[in-house]
Structure 1
Amino acid sequence: MAAPFPHPPDDARRARRVRIAALAALLLAVALACAWCALHDRPDEDMESNIVVGALFGEEDSEKDRRALDEGMIGFSVNTRMAFETPSSEGAVMFENPAGNAKYTRLRLVRDDTGEEVYATGLLQPGTYVEKDALDAMVPTGEYDCTALVEAYRTDDKSYIGTVAAGVKVKVGG
């Protein structure tokens, strides 16, 4: 009859359990850190990344910006005569979501003759603006009547509030 395997001493078993528990705790901490980074460090794809913080024309202290607009009003500024050397070159968009707006805004430019969307921003936070940007569509050389659609969204859940429209001219080329 063979002798049974000897059991390691209690101290060795205890040390082994401590090492296994420490390794499990370390793996759990790494997994939690990775999950947190994945949820919090990811940029929000709805938000515009090409922004400048502040007022478009340096009107930080104006009465217009101190007064908060209610949900039924959408404040904005936009260049009504945009010019681009080529569709891929930057032009002066000058689209502002004033600080008093208390809502996200997004700009979409749509050609009046074809209904084609030629430019769109992501959501802009109140108190930010897009100074320059390139068009999103390859538009032939010419001047186009467009409609600037300014959409408003609630800041807490990004739910849609409404849209206002303004006429703009978009010139491409010399």
Structure 2
Amino acid sequence: MVFLATYATPAFAVWAFAWFWFELPWYLSPLPAFLAFPAGFLVWVIRLRVARLPALDPHTYRATVVEHTLEVYDQEDGYERTNLHVRVDTPDGGFDSVLADNVADEDLHRFHPSSTWSVRVFADTTARVFLSDAHDDVLRSGYHLDGIRHPGEHTQRPRPKPGSPLARKRFRT
């Protein structure tokens, strides 16, 4: 629970300090527990909606699929996703990364090892890359940006659609 540590706990600490400092009546003491956590959650959700993704490199690069790995991300419900590991070729030599796009099962066969794709790269990090606009025909059911803005950031579509859900996001310039 990222919002708990980032927003709710500091809000609770401020309220507790104010309660002692201003010597508020005893019946206001449980109020922080009821207000701080929902307020912290609300601020966290708003921040996610408004916060921009890191800046993108203006160029597209060629990436070669190296391997597929299966990752279970919800032990209780048994949800799993296929991570596509790629080798991105850049003028500086290249780097290994993971495709942020969650490619639908119907199109996963197209991403066999040694297949090449055009990708976009974040300017500050090489942890994740995503398919460029040249591949809008690929069905995607969401994305996983684990660690780009915060741990575990992902979105899941109920039905796969062509095009990247990341294309509608705002990036820093």
TM-score bracket, normalised by the shorter chain, equals under 0.3
TM-score, structure 2 as length reference: 0.27
More strand by share: 2
TM-score, structure 1 as length reference: 0.26
More helix by share: 2
Q: With CA pairs under 8 Å and 6+ residues apart, which has the higher RCO, 1 or 2?
A: 1
